[in-house]
Structure 1
Amino acid sequence: MIAFTAAEIAEITHGRLAADPGLTPGSVVTDSREATAGSLYVAKPGEAADGHDFVAAAFERGAVLALVQRDVADAAGHAFPAVVVEDSVLAMGALAAEAVRRIRARRAAAGQAFTVIGITGSAGKTTTKDLLAGILAGHGETVAPQGSYNGEVGVPLTVFKAGFDTRYLVIEMGATGVGHINYLADMVRPEIGVVLGVGTAHAGEFGGVENIARAKGELVEALPADGTAVLNLDDARVAAMAARTKATVLGFSAGPARDGEQAVVRAEGVELNAAGNPEFDLILPGGSARHHVSAKLIGEHHVGNLLAAAGAAHAAGISGEQIAASLSTQTAASRWRMERTERPDGVTIINDAYNANPESMRAALRTLADLGRGRRTWAVLGAMLELGEDSIREHTAVGTQVVRLNISRLLVIGREARALYVSAVNEGSWGDECLFAETIDEAYAILRSELAPGDLVLFKSSNSIGLRHLGDRIALPETTTEGSPLP
Structure 2
Amino acid sequence: MLRASVDTIVRVTGGELVFGDLESFATDLTLDSRTATPGCVFVALPGEHVDGHDFLRQALEGGARVLVVTRDRDELASALTIALQRGASVVRVPDAVAAVQGLATWHRSRLLCPVIGVTGSTGKTTTKDFIEAVLSTSLRVVSTQGNKNNELGVPLTVLRAGSNTDVLVVEMGMRGLGQIAHLCEVARPTMGLVTNVGTSHVEILGTQDAIATAKGELVRAIPGDGAVFLNGDDQFTGILSALAAARVTRYGLTEACEVRAESIVLAPDSRASFSLVTVQG
Q: Point out the more displaced range, 53-62 or 140-149.
A: 53-62
Contact 1:2 1:164 in 2 (8 A): no
Which of 95, 98, 103 does residue 95 from structure 1 map onto?
103
Q: What is the match of residue 206 of structure 1?
A: 205
Shift of 1:33: 1.8
Structure 1 residues not aligned, in runs of 5+: 105-113, 289-487
SS of aligned partner of 1:266: strand
SS of aligned partner of 1:217: helix
Letter paired with 1:83: V
Q: What is the match of residue 121 of structure 1?
A: 120
Contact 1:71 1:82 in 2 (8 A): no
Q: What is the match of residue 244 of structure 2?
A: 245
- Between the aligned partners of 1:90 and 1:239, the Cα distance in structure 2 is 35
Matches within 5 A, 1:247-262: 247-254=246-253, 256-257=254-255, 261=256
1:235 equivalent in alignment to 2:234: yes
Q: What is the match of residue 268 of structure 2?
A: 274
SS of aligned partner of 2:4: coil
Deviations 1:262-303 (A, max 9, x none): x62101111211112222111123x11xxxxxxxxxxxxxxx
1:16 equivalent in alignment to 2:16: yes
Shift of 1:84: 1.3
Matches within 5 A, 1:347-386: none
SS of aligned partner of 2:110: helix
Q: What is the match of residue 355 of structure 1?
A: none
Q: What is the match of residue 86 of structure 2?
A: none
Letter paired with 2:108: V
Deviations 1:144-182 (A, max 9, x none): 111112111111111111111111111111111111110
CA distance 1:76–1:88, shift in 2 (3 Å):
closer
Q: What is the match of residue 469 of structure 1?
A: none
1:85 equivalent in alignment to 2:84: no
Matches within 5 A, 1:111-260: 114-254=113-253, 256-257=254-255
Letter paired with 2:78: A
Greater RCO (Cα-Cα under 8 Å, separation 6 or more): 2
Matches within 5 A, 1:396-411: none
Letter paired with 1:2: L
CA distance 1:267–1:77, shift in 2 (3 Å):
closer
Matches within 5 A, 1:408-419: none
Identity of aligned residues (%): 40
- Between the aligned partners of 2:230 and 2:247, the Cα distance in structure 1 is 11
User: How large is the RMSD of aligned CA atoms in angstroms?
Assistant: 1.8
SS of aligned partner of 1:267: strand
- Between the aligned partners of 1:228 and 1:243, the Cα distance in structure 2 is 14
Letter paired with 1:82: V
Q: What is the match of residue 415 of structure 1?
A: none
- Between the aligned partners of 1:33 and 1:235, the Cα distance in structure 2 is 44
Contact 1:100 1:188 in 2 (8 A): yes
Contact 2:57 2:82 in 1 (8 A): no
- Between the aligned partners of 2:106 and 2:208, the Cα distance in structure 1 is 34
Q: Point out the more displaced range, 29-38 or 214-223.
A: 29-38
Deviations 1:416-450 (A, max 9, x none): xxxxxxxxxxxxxxxxxxxxxxxxxxxxxxxxxxx
Q: What is the match of residue 259 of structure 2?
A: 265
Shift of 1:183: 0.7
SS of aligned partner of 1:148: coil
- Between the aligned partners of 1:229 and 1:17, the Cα distance in structure 2 is 42
Letter paired with 1:78: T
Q: What is the match of residue 51 of structure 1?
A: 52
Contact 1:195 1:238 in 2 (8 A): no
| Larger CA Rg, structure 1 vs 2 | 1
SS of aligned partner of 1:241: helix
Shift of 1:200: 2.1
**Number of paired residues?**
273
Contact 2:57 2:79 in 1 (8 A): no
Question: After TM superposition, which residue ranges in structure 1, 4 or more long, deviate above 6 angstroms?
Answer: none
SS of aligned partner of 1:4: strand
Shift of 1:49: 2.3
Shift of 1:79: 7.6
CA distance 1:189–1:198, shift in 2 (3 Å):
same
- Between the aligned partners of 2:238 and 2:232, the Cα distance in structure 1 is 5
- Between the aligned partners of 2:221 and 2:79, the Cα distance in structure 1 is 49
- Between the aligned partners of 2:199 and 2:55, the Cα distance in structure 1 is 37
Contact 1:56 1:74 in 2 (8 A): no
Would you tell me which structure has more strand in proportion to its own residues? 2
Q: What is the match of residue 61 of structure 2?
A: 60
CA distance 1:86–1:24, shift in 2 (3 Å):
same
